[in-house]
Amino acid sequence: MLRKIANPARLLTFQRTMASTASTGPLVRTELDSQTGYATVILNRAPVNSLSLEFMAEIIKTVDELERSKIRGMILTSPSSKVFCAGLDVLEMVNPSEDRLRSVWRNLQDTWAKLYGTSFPTVALINGHAPAGGCLLALTCEYRIMCSNFSIGLNETQLGLAVPPWLQKTMRNTVGSREAEIACIKGTMFSSEEALKIGLVDELAADKGEAMHKACNYLDTFKNMSPYARSATKLLLRNKKIEDMKRAREDDIDRVVKNVMNSDFQAGLAAYLQSLKDRKK
Ligand SMILES: CCCC/C=C/CC(=O)SCCNC(=O)CCNC(=O)[C@H](O)C(C)(C)COP(=O)(O)OP(=O)(O)OC[C@H]1O[C@@H](n2cnc3c(N)ncnc32)[C@H](O)[C@@H]1OP(=O)(O)O
């Protein structure tokens, strides 16, 4: 349930009640501007918003609540100054139990489907790096505004993971077939400027303040439009892709289990984790 906890002037702050984490506060925070009807959804799993099973479940619940609240638009962002979302929590893939891994991937599919199929307009305010699952979250939104000097992309193949068909399709719809094919196969991470050039993001911003201004400008374009016509058109464009994913979801999960439980993948992942640590030395 969404809980109203403050009402300073026109900004209503809602917080989800949820399991606590190492980070401070709830995993997902929502700030609703009562005048515009725009909700800012703040991903709040420190340090890098990596997507654990429970975090994804909270994102899904939040979107369900926003649908019920009949908001006029959503801005998805992070409180970090460096990371929008670091993708799937890699620890979910280190020698996982098969049941847990199946649930993780199912939640990833559902997170994509839920965000991709919102009736309200959505903007990703990408104020930090967005590799892999971070790029996935951004791709679900209708419009992407990225702060300069960060990176974004589907780098899964670099980790030894195949990019699932439903996500490849989303990438193709965004940047076109040729760019998507090369980017997915190579696992390319793009700078903000490169991402703008290929259409992976729609606008750049110097900082989060400017990005927020641009995000509201995008949502304002729908101010005088029938929400029904807008959302019906969006869902007619997107629903088939969601249905396609759902139809093939068990095969997708089986493929991931085979991929992740493989000993070569586990050895590669251990080396990848070590390389993340070594970067700091
Ligand atoms: C295509 C299929 C659909 C989607 C599937 C997705 C699969 C994935 O998403 S796999 C995950 C892919 N993600 C990455 O490759 C990102 C790895 N991380 C980074 O490159 C960097 O951490 C960063 C650029 C995001 C941030 O760099 P920064 O210097 O600010 O912070 P760090 O010191 O590197 O990280 C802090 C802390 O967080 C840990 N960490 C980073 N990423 C993850 C992660 N994805 N899962 C879990 N933990 C992560 C990192 O190891 C550090 O931990 P310690 O402080 O304990 O060392």
Answer for the pair 119, 147: CB distance below 8 angstroms, yes or no: no
pLDDT at 191: 98
Residues with CB under 6 A from ligand 1: 47-48, 50, 82-83, 86-91, 129, 131-133, 136, 154-156, 159, 161, 163-164, 167, 276-277, 280
Q: What three-state secondary structure class fits 118? A: coil
Residue whose Cα lies nearest atom 40 of ligand 1: it is 48
pLDDT at 128: 98
Say whether pLDDT at 11 is over 80: no
Say whether pLDDT at 125 is over 80: yes
Q: Place 47 in a pLDDT band, splitting at 50, 70 and 90.
A: very high
Pocket probe for ligand 1: among 78, 90, 159, 265, the residue whose CB has the most ligand atoms within 8 Å is 90
pLDDT at 118: 98
pLDDT at 9: 36
pLDDT at 23: 57
Residue whose Cα lies nearest atom 51 of ligand 1: it is 276
Torsion sign, CA atoms 193, 144, 20, 33? positive
Q: What is the Cα–Cα distance from 189 to 233, expressed in whole angstroms?
A: 32
Residue owning tokens 């029938």: 226
Q: What is the Cα–Cα distance from 38 to 167, expressed in whole angstroms?
A: 27
Burial 73-108 (b: 16+ CB within 10 A, else e): bbbbbbbbeebbbbbbbbebbeebeeeebbbbbbbb
What's the 262 CA to ligand 1 centre distance in angstroms?
21
What is the average pLDDT score of the chain? 92
Q: How many CB atoms lie within 10 A of CB 9?
A: 7
What's the 275 CA to ligand 1 centre distance in angstroms?
11
Q: What is the Cα–Cα distance from 47 to 37, expressed in whole angstroms?
A: 29
Provide the annotated active-site residues: 88, 133, 155-156
Domains and CATH numbers, the chain: 24-279 (3.90.226.10)
